[in-house]
Amino acid sequence: MKLVKTTHDGVEGDAYRCQNCKMTIFTQDQALIFGRKLQQKLLKEKYIKKPVKIGNSYGIIFPRDIVKVFNLDSGKTTLDIRMDKAKSKIEITVL
Ligand SMILES: [Zn+2]
């Protein structure tokens, strides 16, 4: 087995290739890293959204790609929201 760089769907990652049959194999760690890179590729670099009025409050609508990649529809996902008024920043971390 030889450590190689392999490309699938425009995403490059480490893998092992058998010298004899040329089969490419991912270890579990390599597959996880590759999967994350692939998911990251699904996302745009940034999204510009307007706040949406919901009752007396406001929310933001997450695009489908973000919902998929971060499992926002799992029902178990919690968001950690932190504000920095000086930097006009609202930071959302998926827990
Ligand atoms: Zn082989």
In percent, the amount of the chain with pLDDT more than 70 equals: 100
Cα–ligand 1 centroid distance for 22 (angstroms):
6
- Least Cα distance to 62 among 70, 87, 54, 28 occurs for 70
What's the mean pLDDT when you consider all of the chain? Answer: 93
Ligand 1 mean position to 13 CA, how many Å?
20
Helix (H/G/I), strand (E/B), else coil: 5:
strand
Q: What is the pLDDT of residues 24-58, one digit of tens each?
A: 999 999 999 999 898 888 888 789 999 999 999 99
Q: Per residue, what are the HEC states of 7-51?
A: EECCEEEEEEECCCCCCEECCHHHHHHHHHHHHHHHCCCCCCCCC
Predicted TM-score (pTM) of this structure: 0.65
Span from the CA of 77 to the centroid of ligand 1 (angstroms): 41
CA of 1 to the centre of ligand 1 (A): 8
